[in-house]
Structure 1
Amino acid sequence: MHSFKVNIATSDNTKAPCFSALKAKGYEVKITLFILEEKDNARYYMYEAIKKGQLFTADSPEELLGLITMWETRGDVWRITKDEAREYDEIEEQATIYDSTR
């Protein structure tokens, strides 16, 4: 097992820090709640970050921060290239498999 200096995974305790990081980056963050079925308490949150005419939308603050970081790194050429798609598909095919059904 590896020993890492930092080990962070998305969890309930990462939502607020990511929200704060977005605000520190100067984004206005909006959260919209959609109530899908009252009887089952089915709810869906949508997160938006807005700054200088830019709008980013995601299902969580963690995803929102990730999208913004991707855009800050890549700029307007953020869309996937054929080489990136191929590389990602190859890496995904090599994923470690844990099958609890067997």
Structure 2
Amino acid sequence: MEGTCRIADAMNTYNLALKIIKSKGYKIFLYPDDREEYLGDFWAIKGDREFIGGDPLRLLGIISIWENTGDDWQNNNFPEEDLYDEILSRALPDSVDDFNDLSDEKFKILVSDYSIFFKNVVEEELPENPSRQEMFEIINSLYEA
């Protein structure tokens, strides 16, 4: 039976993240910082591997990157693509031309992806088969709000 779940980046997840890191056999430390407003960085050390994050969630994320790619994490086997830029470009188009430049297949994927997002997060339904202009207006109004 599949349920629903929503977890957000918040302090109420820090202890769980630290417990998970500890359960993987890491020793965890806080390295202090000179800035008054910043506690410092969290370090996880196991053997000759060190992972550093600004908070427990980032630390767990860094460890997850290493677990999925190994020591040569920068030369991983994942396809070469800039997902960060792609996600930002989809969310913050400069004009409708950004959507007009997409192939029909890529536009169809964009609409399908945002249908999921709207249903689950915005709690609204996207119109069925929106035009590129309509999609631009919908996305643009979402991020300008």
TM-score category of the 2 structures, normalised to the smaller one: 0.7 to 0.9
- 1:1-102 to structure 2, matched below 5 A, reads 5-37=4-36, 42-79=37-74, 83-85=80-82, 87-95=83-91, 98-100=143-145
Normalising by the residue count of structure 2, what TM-score does the alignment of the two structures yield?
Answer: 0.55
When the two chains are superposed, the root-mean-square deviation of aligned CA atoms in Å is 2.2
**More divergent stretch after superposition (59-68 vs 69-78):** 69-78
Give the number of the structure whose residues are more often helix, by fraction. Answer: 2
Provide, for residues 49-96 of structure 1, a one-character-per-residue CA deviation record: whole Å limited to 9, x for no partner: 0001000011010000011011101112322678233x4322221125
| Structure ranking higher on relative contact order (CA contacts 8 Å, 6+ apart) | 1
Higher strand fraction: Structure 1 or Structure 2? Answer: 1
Identity among equivalent pairs (%) = 33
> Aligned with 2:80: secondary structure?
helix
Unaligned stretches of 5+ residues in structure 2: 92-138
Aligned AA for 2:46?
A: K
TM-score between both structures, scaled by the size of structure 1: 0.75
Query: Any gaps of 5 or more consecutive residues in structure 1?
Result: none
| Segments of 4+ moved more than 6 angstroms | none
Deviation, structure 1 residue 32: 2.3
